[in-house]
């Protein structure tokens, strides 16, 4: 069946759509499709397909909204938590001790530099900007291995890009990257877990308004860098370890929820894509 036999110009089509919602017209999107020849299912089947796709679209819309709401919620809660407007209480309903201004050098240290016996190009790390974390570097073909010194990094270490720390290039090395390598421009620091919860520290630092300010401590006239020793001189407001743990658990739970909704949204989008392909092939 030629589309022009059931559709006219877009303007008329719109009128027909609004007047005859039960006609064959509401099955198609807007556009000049009169030159195409397509198989047209019977009207009841068109209605079933259209209503099913509308339901999928509604679900995608709901998940998108939910994702945005959760992201905004996390941002607001973080602002309140780290400005201490919002405080947790201990198991007995008592206030936690007051936060103390502490220098990072009391909580973290520069580890001994260990060079690998050989440089494995499949074990090089890269730290992405804007809180995208640490990843395996897959772009190593152009590297002249041996020209740059690499050092062995361990899981749980804080890793950052010296030149991009203030652009959100930092993370905690996950288990799967234990023993991987990075250059001196991507250094690591050991966190003393008896004094600071690594997840808490990552959340503390991951406020854009906070890490952007760190540009002021970068040195160098060409490429501005923040050295390990300079970074360790930073003062942070530190709660007690149990409160750090509570804050970290709470924010991690929100992150998990956001990740779940993002996954559901991706699945819904993929489902719709696959469905459209199968329906209209």
- For DNA, the binding residues (CB under 7 A) are 113, 124-130, 132, 137, 139-144, 147-149, 161, 163-164, 167, 169, 183-186, 219-223, 225, 227-229
Asked if residue 84 lies in contact with residue 243, where contact means CB atoms within 8 angstroms, the answer is no
Nearer to DNA, 30 or 235 (CB): 30
How far from chain centre, in Å, is Cα 153?
A: 23
Nearer to DNA, 50 or 218 (CB): 218
Tally Cβ neighbours within 10 Å of residue 11.
8
CB of 28 to DNA, least distance (A): 16
CB of 3 to DNA, least distance (A): 17
One-letter-per-residue 3-state SS of the chain: CEHHHCCCCHHHHHHHHHHCCCCHHHHCCCCCCCCCECCCCCHHHHHHHHHHHHHHHHHHHHHHHHHHHHHHHHHHHHHHHHCCCCCCECCCCCECCCCEEEEHHHCEECCCCCCCCCCCHHHEEEECCCCCCEEECCCCCCCCCCCCCEEECCCCCEEECCCCHHHCCEEECCHHHCCCEEECCCCEEEECCCCCCHHHHHHHHCCHHHHHHHHHHCECCCCCECCHHHHHCCEEEECCHHHHHHHHHHHHHHHHHHHHHHHHHHHHHHHHHHHHHHHHC
Nearer to DNA, 31 or 193 (CB): 31
Nearer to DNA, 80 or 138 (CB): 138
Nearer to DNA, 82 or 180 (CB): 180
Structure tokens at 118: 């050989």
CB of 245 to DNA, least distance (A): 30
CB of 169 to DNA, least distance (A): 5
CB of 122 to DNA, least distance (A): 13
Nearer to DNA, 85 or 144 (CB): 144
CB of 205 to DNA, least distance (A): 16
Nearer to DNA, 124 or 268 (CB): 124
CB of 183 to DNA, least distance (A): 4
């Amino acid at each position: 069946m030629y589309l022009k036999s059931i559709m006219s110009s877009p303007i008329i089509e719109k009128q027909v759509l609004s007047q005859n919602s039960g006609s064959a017209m509401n099955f198609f999107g807007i556009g000049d499709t009169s030159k195409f020849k397509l198989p047209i299912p019977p009207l009841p089947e068109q209605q079933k397909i259209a209503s099913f796709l509308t339901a999928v679209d509604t679900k995608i819309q709901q998940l998108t909204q939910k994702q945005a709401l959760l992201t905004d919620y996390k941002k607001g809660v973080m602002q309140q938590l780290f400005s201490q407007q919002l405080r947790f209480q201990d198991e007995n309903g008592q206030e936690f001790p007051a936060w103390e201004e502490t220098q990072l050098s009391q909580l973290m240290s520069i580890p001994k530099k260990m060079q690998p016996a050989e440089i494995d190009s499949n074990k090089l790390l890269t730290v992405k900007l804007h809180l995208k974390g640490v990843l395996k570097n897959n772009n190593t073909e152009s590297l002249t291995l041996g020209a740059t010194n690499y050092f062995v990094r361990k899981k749980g270490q804080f890793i950052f890009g010296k030149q991009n720390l203030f652009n959100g290039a930092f993370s905690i090395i996950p288990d799967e990257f234990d023993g991987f390598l990075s250059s001196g421009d991507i250094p690591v620091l050991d966190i003393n877990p008896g004094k600071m919860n690594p997840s808490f520290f990552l959340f503390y630092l991951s406020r854009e308004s906070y890490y952007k300010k760190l540009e002021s401590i970068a040195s160098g006239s060409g490429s501005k860098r923040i050295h390990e020793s300079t970074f360790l001189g930073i003062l942070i407001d530190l709660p007690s370890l149990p409160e750090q743990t509570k804050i970290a658990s709470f924010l991690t739970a929100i992150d998990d929820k956001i990740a779940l909704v993002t996954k559901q949204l991706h699945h819904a989008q993929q489902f719709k894509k696959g469905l459209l392909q199968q329906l209209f092939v």
